[in-house]
Structure 1
Amino acid sequence: MRKGRGPRLIQQAKLLWLLAAIIIFIKPLNAKQLEYRLPNNIAATKQVIELSLLPDKASFSGKTVIDLAINGSVSKIAVHGINLDIKTINLSQGESVRRLQVSPGEYDMLWLSDGKDIPAGSYQLTIDYNAEFSTDALGLYKTQYNDQTYLFTQFQSLYARRVFPSFDEPDTKIPYQFILTVPKSLTVVANTPQQSSTTSGDLQTVTFAETPPMPSYLLALTVGPLDKTPINGLGVKGNIYSPKGTANQTGYAVKHTPKILKALEQYFGMPYPYKKLDFIAVPDYAFGAMENPGLVTYRQELLLRGDNATASEANGTLNVIAHELAHMWYGDLVTMKWWDDLWLNEAFATWMAQKVMDGLYPELRSELLLPQEGAFYEDALSATKAIRKEVKNNDDIEDGLGLNYSKGHAILSMFEQLVGIDNFQLAIQRYMKKYQWKNTVADDLWTEVSQASGENVNAIASTYLDQPGYALVNFEKDGKITQQRFSNYGVDLANQQWQVPLAMKYKVNGEIKYQSLILDNPSMVFEPAIEAEWLFPVENGNGYFRWKLPQEQYQALLADLDQLSPREQVALLSNMTGLLDAGEISIYEMMELYQRMSSSTDLAVFKQVLEGIKAYAELYQSAENKAQVARLVTDIIGPWYKKLGAKTRKNDSDEILSLRPRVIRTLGQLGNEPALVKDMQVLAQQYLKSPTSFDAGLGREALRIAAMHGNNALAKQYFDVYLSTTDATLKSNIMGSIYFTDKASMQVVFDELLGDRIPAGDKMGPLSGLYYINNDQSSLYRWITTNYDALKGKLPEVYLSYMPLILNSNCDAANLDMKQKLFEGKGPVYQASLKKSVEATDNCIKQKRRAQPEFNRFVGQYQALN
């Protein structure tokens, strides 16, 4: 809420909160009772949470008071709680107080009763309890940073219940209030401004203002010796809180946050809806960031960039800030009713962040990062579920979570193009005003979009949300268009149908034309295609489907590439990789396309070509063709290295700063440039000693190349520098560069993973790096099989469900066999991602067996080159 809006608007806001509480009371009465949901005839309407938080202790004490509305007589009350040591439970109604007992149930429910019925009415439930601080970067956890102890929180998805008994469901959207007792020498911050504070000895008790209606997963607090840096230029008060001694690194985030927030307010047509906007830079974090209203948490490297940032750093920081601030509307102000519509939060925040980036920072070229690229492969697996699916527990939430962001973003871009930018914005603004402080389902949004545009978006959207996969659209010479379910080479999937929006761009008699249509049947005829020289069915690159042209039209399109925008050229590259996965084209054709497009003068497009060449060279390189692969990479990428050089230059553009590190990395890993490797080893040492002296992106790739050729002494140096530096970006880059291949170096990494020096939120990076860079993973599996239980206790719980995917098999059957043996019998948490990992590796092996001869034939032409 903006400052100075006056008592009348404050009263209106309070009325909205009261109405929200009434809605929460009424809504569940008509809902079907589900075993994994709290009883639908008991509703929380307000909760006060008192915590005594002493960071030097292993545990904390808590007391919570929950206002309840009970409809009809009940025998017991359920709340959520995990590992809470309940001391007393009192249920009061006026002067009447009943002492209840607790018994645990399924789905983290605690059932409270005294053996007697509880009549309908309004009650207060008071629970006193103790609990331990977490150490895995989830719930309420403590961590050490530069010899100081801090407390941070991460409650999404189901971790608030570790900290206080609650109605921990997204449609319990109620006011909360924190009362926190902490050492008075420390700073304490929560979602809302401080209301009052008292001291007693060495302690202070801070009462925070009541929140507007919100779900429990968005609550947040932090305690520690924090620096505080104001963010000026906001409509509300805002600060960046960061670990002690780091305030001087917040300048970049401070500078750009006001303009990002202003752009969002303009798009939504309404001001930022909360009383303050604080950020917190967290040194031990299991995620990238979290949209807690009033106290947004970020991995520290995202906020601690100093006063300036390179292109890659800027893209990371600005995009995540825009994403989290978009959540203040998508997800916070308007919240999904249940976790099956989590995509509604994440897709819109991701899509909105892209819109902000394109509008405010076009020089960063973020529009060339197609969201569908992050979704297509997983969504084609038979083991993948629809993004809107039944959700009972956290494992269900995590299964396919990334598709909520990537697939959701892609289909929103497709729908915006279908209905028009203005109509889409109008629908969003209506939706926000209509449902502010409430909960919704996806159909509520599509209804608004349909009304604003006249398109039946509900019907189209359901074909993308309620079933997995996507279409392969075939264009034939006679103008016929057909659709079938896309499947990877050698995989037989049951066919499905979609309503596919086609944004046709085509050339007829030398003229470029455009036409939109919807393929809502197995086939249709597009008559202009009969005479068209070429077709491009995803104008502006927005299309969540793969497509294939007749060979004559495809070749004509390649001859006319300058008629495609850079984003469309990237979409063409993306589509061809999909056709390769499906077995519709050969690797020879794919490499020819990369070879042809490597002459692009658009640096951002060339970077996409570079990444493709690198990926396929890594995949198909063998002992027999290694020299030819090196020659291919050196011949295509080498001229760019000579042009760009190995050092940052004064007048480098953002695109050059982004491209140079990847050119160097590709040549250093796959090319024939021994002098470059030596240069990078020297550069890596310079970066470790003086991380601000040159581009951090270049420093990261130097660290990676040095690690590939390094020994155990270098591995020890990496971890020692990680622990001693206060440079957050250097810390992050070291953890992303653990690419060691010799046994002694790997043992250094193993010791750190099982030790306590590296925080839980940073341990997955080194483990992932080892599995990425080592094709022979036998020594890795010997270690992890012996030490898995110990390792499991050192990682954030939320990472466990992803472990089979994180341990990359590198398209190798032996590695996959070891992975399957590791996770056999380890419980259901691993099974969804294990199934996907097995299928993906099997697909890769089949594709590699098919494509290897053609790849060898392509690189063979480089054999005789000098």
Structure 2
Amino acid sequence: MRPLLAACLLIFAASALADDAPRGRLPKTAEPLHYALQFRIDPAADGFAGVTTIRVRLNEAADHLWLHGDSLSVEKVDVTDAAGTAHTGKYAQAKDADGVARIDFGKTLPAQTIDLRIVYRSRYDEHLEGLYKARHADKPYVVTQMEPISARRAFPGFDEPVFKTPYDVTLEVPPGQKGVTNAAQKSAVKLADGWTRLTFETTAKLPTYLIAIGVGPWDVVDAPPIAASRWRDKPVPLRAIAAAGEGPRLKEILGATPQIVAALEDYFGYPYAFGKLDLLAAPDFSAGAMENAGLIIYRDTLMLLDANSPTQLRRSSFEVNTHELAHQWFGDTVTMQWWDDIWLNEAFATWLENRITGRLRPENRADLGMVEGAQYAMRADSLASARRVRQPISGVGDIEDAFDSLTYQKGAAVLGMFEAWLGEETFRSGIRNYVREHEFGNATSDDLIAALAKAGDRDERFGKAMKSFLDQPGVPQVTTSLSCDGGKATLALSQQRYFPAGSKGDAAQRWGVPVCVRLGYGDKTSVQCELLDQASGTMTLADGCPDWYLPNADSRGYYRIAMPAAELGKLTAAVDKLAEREQLGFADAIRAGFERGDVDVAAALAAMRQLAPSKTREISTSLFGTFNWIRDYLSDATTRPALDAFATSLYLPRLRELGYAQRAGENSDDALMRSALAEFLARDVENAQVRAALVEQGRAVLKIGDNGHLTFSAANYDLLGTTLSITVQELGAPAIDALVAEIGRQSDPTLRASMIGALGATRDGKLGDRVRNYVLTDAVKLGEVSRLLGVNQSHPENHAAYWTWLKANFDALVKRMPAKGEGRLVERASDGWCAAAQEKELVEFFAPRAASLTGGDTALARAREKIALCVARREKQGTAGLAAWAKANPPAL
């Protein structure tokens, strides 16, 4: 490969293009019909070489066209017209235009089909985008991440989802290297220089963001093909791919995949469409996984499983695999036209992930996970600065910002709510029709809504109701009031936008809310539903006045509830009569009421007492966040002992019953409950007994074993992260020294994640600077940086030191972050801040810098609002209520 210095100079020279470059979407002057991509890739080098040939339809006469190319050193452009005449073209990247480039033909060509052949070189990306390099056990690998707009960093092209074409990919790789891409390999030819040219089958029609490549000394594990089905007459070849030496740990994900594919085919009534299926474990990755058609790429922790893998990781592996496989239909077979509809991909994959997991792994409690996901989204959606699900896209920051809880969890909750309204079979029928109608093409939200409305024979109210959740921000608050008079029971309903105390948002919004109410009559219950699409309405209860009611039956509705105190009290007393999904809905009503100021400390803690005895982890622990906020922001030395004693009395007996060691044959629920309780009691409540038990395991881990590594088997692997974190806090420098030494010689991604997080858990000032500086070194992978810093900043004791360090090392830290993580730096810096002076500090530092960070401006707005809301809630709740509660609930002597 030639030296890249000259290439870099060419890039700078090409960046002087005039300001007429398109911002946003490309003009419709031209569109691609086919790509031939040739890459020469050596993972040991600093960069790669490529030749991209694009068949392009010119829709009108033109002397140039616009496409995308970012930081590519283009050496030659050939333009071949429809008559076969070749012209020399000129390539130039526009300045400050998010990777837009221009190709000049040298003359005006009439509308026709032409071929562009572009020869170029580039460096591997340094932020886990495009074509980038990763390392495992000191061996280099090349992997890709093209979504959303990083394909332009790997090859020139029309980098928008609306452009779907077939691809022919060729890879040239050095001796000892293997190459994979979306389609199956059809030939391998040895070249004169010892390299190998790999040629692959033509892909289905795909957008640029779904193209994937992996080159390295991979372990490639062939599994039995996925058997033919009623929907597909040919088996699907199945493989898993991981870094050298890791092949034996791919067995579990390979074993789970065929049943997931079969379940998805049954749901869609449509076959898996991409010929073969490869699952690749990337040694470093910026996301959890990426749904590239035929070659799904995962963060390696999700694929490299064995008998010692934590229970939660095994669950996550199955669920993420289901999510990415669901994308093969929603996203890959049918693709959104533009990024404002990315929810069509992510929300549906999230919703179907839970549906299929619930069917195949009922013990994972995906039904409760769906409720938790919706409630998580509601917290983000409660901000006045929250965006819409279908947010207009005006720049790169808006695209990156769209990959958040509102797209994934809110979108999934909206789908679930309207599925409940239509009925499961009707909803599925609409989805099937949608996929068939738009197969290998593009679609919009309107297309999906139309398909669902047609399947359900619904009028325009359906479409308006669904769009009301997609096209405006916020979460509805449904307020209820029960009236029982003369044997007639009426429930008054009203709606407005939910805001916490202190918000400056305008609550006067309206949705089409399918409100379903659970009504309790003695030992029996019933459900009544009403579409609330006006500011207020009434529901006449058919069975008379209930003993209690819950205004969100089955927790299927994406809305929050507000009830008069007396009616909420009756519901609290009857909480054990609610279904488990509804108990989580009740917990959210308490949490939302507390944040709004309608529920005081005593009521919140009373609800926690009601929910704590549940054997279901999600319910028992559902108010941990509210408890922690009370402890962090309202308690002091006089009230904290009562709070801690209260939490200990509720949860320590259960932890003692479970013990700290894994038990033979125990179920996964017990393992996860143990983990949740140990972390809560050790980290948040700081119970000395629990911390001592964990440190005992931690000391044993820190001893070097016969294999030259720390003795990880001395700890319960489900507790390893918490164990090492508490051990770092208790032992200090010796624990950190041992972990840093082990990270330097350890390639196991799961063990590295536990150790990296544990380093961040230190609360010591000097040691904190040491571990924060550690993320600026190559010892920490880019994908690990956020974990260490996120854990470190989450401890209130570290807020001031973290802020000082961030300001001093900001430029160096940005260089260690993937682009999609830049905006998160702003919010992480201020997580947990709760003082007006802190908001001022945040603005002073970030206001001049936010625009240079991807998504920085919107992140700063959210961060400021969160601080202001925390201040307002602190003032609203005050400390007097907690003091009165503590006096009435003194800790036992």
TM-score tier by shorter-chain length is over 0.9
- Greater alpha carbon shift after TM alignment, 641-650 vs 190-199: 641-650
Counterpart for residue 103 of structure 1: 92
Q: Give the partner amino acid of 1:211.
A: T
- Tell me how far apart the structure 2 counterparts of residues 832 and 570 of structure 1 sit (CA, whole Å): 30
CA spacing shift, 1:461–1:189, aligned 2, 3 Å: same
**1:311 CA drift (Å):** 3.4
CA distance in 2, matches of 1:750, 1:606: 34
Range with greater deviation from structure 2 (769-778 or 605-614): 605-614
- 1:759 matched to 2:788? The reply is no
- Distance in 2 (CA, whole Å) between partners of 1:654 and 1:448 is 39
- Look up the SS of the partner of 2:31 in the other structure: strand
Q: Paired residue for 1:366?
A: 366
Q: CA deviation at 1:468?
A: 0.2
Residue pairs, 1:550-589, within 5 angstroms: 550-589=564-603
Q: How does 1:171-190 map to 2 (within 5 A)?
A: 171-190=162-181
Deviation readout 1:444-487 (Å, 9 max, x if unpaired): 11111111112343211110111000211111233221111111
What pairs with 1:674-753 in structure 2 (closer than 5 Å)? Answer: 674-687=688-701, 689-691=710-712, 695-737=716-758, 738-753=760-775
Q: Deviations over 1:57-99 (max 9, x none)?
A: 1121111100011112123111101101111111111331121
Q: Measured at CA, do residues 129 and 477 of structure 1 come closer, stay the same or move farther in structure 2, by a change above 3 Å?
A: same
User: Post-superposition shift, 1:641?
Assistant: 2.2
Change in CA separation of 1:202 and 1:659 when aligned onto 2, cut-off 3 Å: same
2: CA distance between counterparts of 1:262 and 1:616? 47
Q: Secondary structure at the match of 1:562?
A: helix
1:290-329 map, 5 Å? 290-306=290-306, 310-329=310-329
- Amino acid corresponding to residue 514 of structure 1 in structure 2: V
**How much has 1:383 moved relative to structure 2?**
1.2
Is the deviation greater in 810-819 or in 271-280?
810-819
Say whether residues 1:192 and 2:183 are aligned partners.
yes
Shift of 1:675: 3.5
Match in the other structure for 2:333: 333
**Partner letter of residue 528 of structure 2?**
Q
Q: CA deviation at 1:672?
A: 5.9
Cα offsets for 1:310-332 (capped at 9, x unmatched): 53122211110000000000100
User: How much has 1:180 moved relative to structure 2?
Assistant: 1.0
For 1:413 and 1:687, how far apart are their aligned partners in 2? Answer: 45
Distance 1:608 1:646, change over 3 A: same
| TM-score (normalizing by structure 2) | 0.90
CA offsets, 1:537-593, max 9 Å, x none?
A: 222211111112233332332232233111110111012211221222222211111
Aligned equivalent of 1:124: 115
Aligned residue identity for 2:883:
N
1:851 lines up with 2:847 in the alignment: no
CA distance in 1, matches of 2:694, 2:825: 31
Matched, 1:785 2:807: yes
Shift of 1:603: 4.2
Q: Aligned ranges for residues 516-595 of structure 1 at < 5 Å?
A: 516-528=529-541, 531-595=545-609
Structure 1: 5+ residue runs without aligned partners? 1-32
The residue correspondences of 1:131-210 to structure 2 (distance < 5 A) are 131-200=122-191, 201-210=193-202
- Choose the corresponding residue for 1:216, options 201, 204, 208: 208
CA contact (8 A) 2:368 2:581 kept: yes
Shift in alpha-carbon separation, 1:720–1:818, aligned structure 2, 3 A? farther
Q: Is the 8 A contact 1:632 1:859 kept in 2?
A: no
* CA apart distance, 1:669: 2.3
Return 459-468 or 544-553, whichever deviates more: 544-553
Distance 1:712 1:648 in 2: 29
Indicate yes or no: 2:508 matched with 1:486: no
Counterpart in the other structure of 1:389:
391
Whether the aligned pair in 2 keeps the contact of 1:157 and 1:394 (CA below 8 Å) is no
User: What 5-or-longer segments of structure 2 have no aligned partner?
Assistant: 1-20, 227-234, 484-490, 703-709
Q: Secondary structure at the match of 1:763?
A: helix
Q: Deviations over 1:631-663 (max 9, x none)?
A: 222222221222222222223221110011221
Question: Which residue matches 1:50?
Answer: 38
Matched, 1:501 2:503: no
Deviations 1:287-320 (A, max 9, x none): 0000001110111110011157553122211110
Shift of 1:508: 4.4
Q: Structure 1 residues 660, 619: closer, same or farther in 2, change over 3 A?
A: farther
In structure 2, the partner of 1:25 is none
Q: 1:574 to 1:47 in 2, by over 3 A?
A: same
Separation of aligned partners in 1, 2:168 and 2:883: 65
Tell me the distance in 1 between the aligned counterparts of 2:776 and 2:686.
37
TM-aligned CA deviation for residue 612 of structure 1:
4.7
Mapped to 1, the partners of 2:719 and 2:604 lie a distance apart of: 29
Which secondary structure does the structure 1 equivalent of 2:561 belong to?
A: strand
Q: Give the aligned residue type for 1:361.
A: R
Q: Give the distance between the partners of 1:392 and 1:774, measured in 2 at CA.
A: 36
Q: Once structures 1 and 2 are overlaid, which stretch shifts more, 712-721 or 614-623?
A: 614-623
Question: How far did residue 807 of structure 1 move?
Answer: 2.2
Task: State the one-letter code of the partner of 1:723.
Answer: G
Give the C-alpha shift of residue 630 in structure 1. Answer: 2.2
Instruction: Measure, in 2, the Cα distance between the counterparts of 1:240 and 1:536.
Output: 47
| Aligned partner of residue 847 in structure 1, secondary structure | helix
The answer (yes or no) to whether the contact 1:610–1:663 under 8 Å persists in 2 is no
462-471 vs 772-781, greater mean Cα deviation: 772-781
Match of 1:462 among 467, 489, 511: 467
Distance (whole Å) between structure 2 residues aligned to residue 489 and residue 612 of structure 1: 15
Change (3 A) 1:664 1:510: closer
Q: Structure 1 CA distance, aligned partners of 2:689 and 2:619? A: 27
- SS state of the match for residue 387, structure 1? coil
Q: CA deviation at 1:599?
A: 2.4
Query: 1:205-244 counterparts in 2 under 5 A?
Result: 205-234=197-226, 235-244=235-244
Q: Distance in 2 between matches of 1:839 and 1:208?
A: 51
Aligned to 1:667: 681
Give the stretch that moved more between structures: 305-314 or 320-329: 305-314
Give SS of 2:503's match: coil
With 225-234 and 274-283 compared, the bigger mean Cα shift is at 225-234
Aligned CA distance change for structure 1 residues 127 and 299 (closer, same or farther; 3 Å):
same
Number of the residue aligned with 2:12: none
SS, match of residue 660 in structure 1: helix
Q: CA deviation at 1:686?
A: 3.8
Encode CA deviations 1:7-52: one digit per residue, 9 max, x unaligned. xxxxxxxxxxxxxxxxxxxxxxxxxx97421111211000111111
2-side partners of 1:483 and 1:354: how far apart?
Answer: 29
Amino acid at match of 2:649: D
Q: Secondary structure at the match of 2:224?
A: coil
Distance 2:320 2:157 in 1: 29
Are 2:270 and 1:270 equivalent residues in the alignment? yes
Give the aligned partner of residue 9 of structure 2.
none
1:212 partner SS: coil
What's the CA shift for 1:616? 4.0
**Alignment partner of 1:59 is 2:47:** yes
Q: CA RMSD in A?
A: 2.0
Cα deviation 1:496-520 (Å, max 9, x = unaligned) = 1000011222134764222221001
The letter of the residue matching 2:99 is D
Aligned partners of 1:804, 1:428: CA distance in 2, in Å? Answer: 39
**Cα 1:816–1:718 shift into 2, 3 Å:** farther
1:82 aligns with 2:70: yes
Compared CA separation, residues 315 and 348, structure 1 to 2 (3 A): same
* In 2, Cα distance between equivalents of 1:510 and 1:774: 46
Shift of 1:714: 1.9
2:335–2:441 contact (8 Å) kept in structure 1: yes
Q: Distance in 2 between matches of 1:670 and 1:197?
A: 57
Contact 1:48 1:177 in 2 (8 A): yes
Cα distance, 1:746 vs structure 2? 1.5
